[in-house]
Structure 1
Amino acid sequence: MEADAKELQGHTSLHSLRKQKRREKYADFLTTIFKNKIATIGGLIILFYIFIALFAPLIAPFDPFAIDLKNKLQAPSLEHWMGTDDKGRDILSRIIYGSRLSMGVGFAAVLFGAFFGIIMGLIAGYYGKTTDSIISRILDVMLAFPGILLALAIVSALGPSLINVTIAVGVFSIPLFARIARGSTMEVRNLEYIDAIRSLGASDRIIIFRHILPNILSPLIIQGTLRLATAILSAAGLSFLGLGAQPPSPEWGTMLSSGRDFLFSAPYIAIFPGLTIAILVMGFNLFGDGLRDALDPRMKS
């Protein structure tokens, strides 16, 4: 009984020690982020956009789809802070609702690319040899095409829609995550603790997903944050070309496309969606740089 009690106490102490180290790690991470003013600014920008997207129905002053031809092409005023478009729709309301579409496409595309890319990279890096060669050649073929051209080809084949844009942007994000996961896995797979776990009879699946993946997440998280900016920008570009969201959708790229016909008579129709995209992309880039400082040990040294 005493031996069991001591063993239980030992496990409890070990669990408490792990929790304490985890809390210290999170505290150190948050401290590093808050000390970096640029990262803090980027994080606040992102949180602001997320808040707008979540509470769009409560924040938007007008219905983003309501057509009011009597008030079309109104310049910014106290009633319509960003003016109205050629159909009398409030631009501010459309931008607020558009944050759901643009950010949703960005996050979904990055998650899509990260999911398949990380799995491919883990498999290639862990097994090596023939498996690595086959996966690496597939990635080389994908990298042979510029990302936006590959996305254009995919959307052209699938047809213009927001879902197809998400798939297209996600596909050309796969090689980036795969190469990072592959390189990091090749560094970790031969470490002593992996050999010890393997000698205890752990399966490849457990080794890969329980012991290798958690130790290579830092560079993947950093690249994922930076990739969000590229994904949002690419999705807006495809919508601008008419291959993404279709009118009357308030997606930012579609709004930009509609505003190009009024650059001289009503430039605010294109200026405000363009500024919205630019500020959000800047926010992700600033926050991504801060994450690199916080998560990359080489930046700390």
Structure 2
Amino acid sequence: MTFMQRLRQDKVGIVSLGILLITFLLGIFAPFIAPHDPLAINMKLRYAAPSLEYWFGNDHLGRCVLSRLLYGIRPSVLWVLVALILSVFIGTVLGFIAGYFKGWVDAVIMRMCDVMLSFPVYVMTLAIVGVLGVGLENILLAFVFMKWAWFARVIRTSVMQYTESEYVTFSKAIGTPSHRIIRTHLLPVTLSDIAVVASSSIGSMILQISGLSFLGLGMKAPNPEWGMMLNEARTVMFTKPELMLAPGIAIVIVVSACNFLADSLQVALNPALTKATNVPALKKMRPTVKFREKEVAK
């Protein structure tokens, strides 16, 4: 079976992929979908209950919660996806260089990764924000600056598994350029690892950006962002809990979809994982294997 056929059989993976695609589309077309201006203040509707016109109610400034939720997809998800793509690209390039050429090049890149990975992500992010100032763009820059090292180390390990294979050795022997070997032989077989690593990281990055925005270090007011919406609603969390439920449930759904999709991609791209989990089938095969071993011994 092909990759798409195996992925279609995983209902959880398909549902997760659908949720993420719908989220991306809602964020991209938010100006056309949002029923109201997310920045429009109307103090007459302050803490108004949900209605047919305002499905999720209004916040402390009378702004439409649904509109702010839709516009909040952009900084909370889409811009995080851009930072992830940049991190994966830098990590992939350096990981391929280190894993393929080895030697002193590998040593230099890995020592750089060791230095970057020796610092906790949150500590370095706070340090970068403290130097460059508060803002979403500075947090995303900190993510790119910190995340590439982890991607480079993981991808370098994957590349090293294939550099000693026979077809790569033969390609080197006949004088095939290194860039062609990487593009035609190594990149296709490592795409599965790159996809799994990227999909498993976006969920944690969404949580981190929302957490930092909740602390007031991310998106600047009055622009909407899910973590900031949680921070704005925490003062009335007991009297108006619906204001926290909307962004909170959105974060949980998107992060859960990212994690489930990462698991589904890992199984779809590596069918051996599904076969390895078929324990009853292995138990049935053991008596037959033992009988054949006895026949060979005779």
Query: Normalising to structure 1: TM-score of the pair?
Result: 0.86
Aligned residue type for 1:80: Y
Paired residues for 1:134-145 under 5 Å: 134-145=108-119
Matched, 1:189 2:192: no
Which secondary structure state, in structure 2, belongs to the residue aligned with residue 220 of structure 1? helix
The superposition leaves residues 23-49 of structure 1 with CA deviations (integer Å, 9 ceiling, x where unpaired) of: xx7xx2222112112112211211221
Q: Which residue is equivalent to 1:280?
A: 254
Q: Which residue is equivalent to 1:249?
A: 223
> Whole-Å Cα distance in 1 between the matches of residues 188 and 145 of structure 2?
24
Matched, 1:295 2:269: yes
Aligned residue type for 1:30: M
Q: Which residue is equivalent to 1:100?
A: 74
Matched, 1:34 2:15: no
**Aligned with residue 30 of structure 2, among 45, 56, 60:** 56
**Aligned with residue 46 of structure 1, among 20, 26, 36:** 20
Counting aligned pairs with the same residue, the percent is 38
The superposition leaves residues 87-141 of structure 1 with CA deviations (integer Å, 9 ceiling, x where unpaired) of: 1000011001111221122211111210111112111111222222221122122
Please tell me whether the aligned partners of residues 106 and 232 of structure 1 are also in contact (alpha carbons under 8 angstroms). yes
> Whole-Å Cα distance in 1 between the matches of residues 145 and 10 of structure 2?
33
Matched, 1:115 2:98: no
Please tell me whether the aligned partners of residues 169 and 235 of structure 1 are also in contact (alpha carbons under 8 angstroms). no
Q: Which residue is equivalent to 1:124?
A: 98
Aligned residue type for 1:222: V
Q: Which residue is equivalent to 2:202?
A: 228
Paired residues for 1:189-228 under 5 Å: 189-228=163-202
Q: Which residue is equivalent to 1:153?
A: 127
Q: Which moved more, 1:78-87 or 1:144-153?
A: 144-153
- Size of the aligned set, in residue pairs, is 275
Structure 2 unmatched runs, 5+: 276-298
Pairwise CA RMSD: 1.6
Which secondary structure state, in structure 1, belongs to the residue aligned with residue 4 of structure 2? helix
Deviation at 1:221, TM superposition (A): 0.3
Q: Which moved more, 1:177-186 or 1:201-210?
A: 201-210
Structure 1 unmatched runs, 5+: 1-24
> Whole-Å Cα distance in 1 between the matches of residues 140 and 272 of structure 2?
34
Aligned residue type for 1:277: I
Q: Which residue is equivalent to 1:261?
A: 235
Aligned residue type for 1:212: L
Aligned residue type for 2:213: S
Matched, 1:81 2:50: no
Deviation at 1:201, TM superposition (A): 2.0
> Whole-Å Cα distance in 2 between the matches of residues 51 and 201 of structure 1?
47
> Whole-Å Cα distance in 1 between the matches of residues 134 and 18 of structure 2?
33
> Whole-Å Cα distance in 2 between the matches of residues 172 and 240 of structure 1?
21
Deviation at 1:294, TM superposition (A): 0.4
**Aligned with residue 165 of structure 1, among 139, 161, 168:** 139
> Whole-Å Cα distance in 1 between the matches of residues 19 and 137 of structure 2?
26
Aligned residue type for 1:283: A
Please tell me whether the aligned partners of residues 151 and 171 of structure 1 are also in contact (alpha carbons under 8 angstroms). no
Which secondary structure state, in structure 2, belongs to the residue aligned with residue 82 of structure 1? coil
> Whole-Å Cα distance in 2 between the matches of residues 169 and 74 of structure 1?
37
> Whole-Å Cα distance in 2 between the matches of residues 291 and 130 of structure 1?
34
> Whole-Å Cα distance in 1 between the matches of residues 32 and 273 of structure 2?
42
> Whole-Å Cα distance in 2 between the matches of residues 151 and 210 of structure 1?
37
Deviation at 1:200, TM superposition (A): 2.5
> Whole-Å Cα distance in 2 between the matches of residues 174 and 106 of structure 1?
14
Aligned residue type for 2:238: F
> Whole-Å Cα distance in 1 between the matches of residues 125 and 181 of structure 2?
34
> Whole-Å Cα distance in 1 between the matches of residues 203 and 64 of structure 2?
26
Please tell me whether the aligned partners of residues 154 and 168 of structure 1 are also in contact (alpha carbons under 8 angstroms). yes
